[in-house]
């Protein structure tokens, strides 16, 4: 199975809007598709999970850092003539092989 990533758009986001992953503009049809109010990315995007007690303690003591993969999805859109940037949570989604 292939993994895609889905991002649900909030109600205040209307077209036209720009989509950025880690600050890089994405192109509709190449990097993602739109299905209703959902963006479906053609590649998996990852979010750093919650850090446990030992990880926090090791960071506090300077023993280790957190270098896990953490992709961010930002939507640039306009509401009533004002420009906004909305950060959204990506959700991995299994896609059956075709």
- Give the range of the structural domain holding residue 59, as residue numbers without chain letter: 2-95
Strands 73-79 and 38-41: unpaired
Cα 92 from Cα 85, distance rounded (Å): 22
**Distance between CA 54 and CA 24 in Å, rounded?**
33
CA–CA separation, 90 and 39 (whole Å): 9
The number of folded domains in the chain is 1
- Please identify which residue in the block is written with the tokens 């963006």: 39
pLDDT tens profile 63-92:
665 555 678 899 999 999 999 999 888 876
pTM of this prediction exceeds 0.85: no
pLDDT tens-digit readout, 8-37: 999 999 999 999 999 999 999 999 999 999
């Amino acid at each position: 199975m292939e993994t895609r990533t889905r991002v649900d758009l909030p109600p205040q986001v209307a077209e036209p809007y720009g989509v950025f992953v880690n600050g890089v503009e994405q192109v509709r049809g190449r990097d993602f598709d739109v299905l209703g109010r959902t963006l479906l990315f053609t590649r998996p995007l990852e979010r750093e999970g919650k850090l446990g007690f030992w990880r926090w303690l090791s960071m506090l003591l300077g023993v280790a850092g957190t270098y896990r993969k953490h992709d961010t999805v930002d939507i640039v859109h306009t509401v009533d003539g004002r420009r906004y940037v909305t950060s959204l949570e990506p959700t991995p989604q299994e896609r059956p092989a075709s």
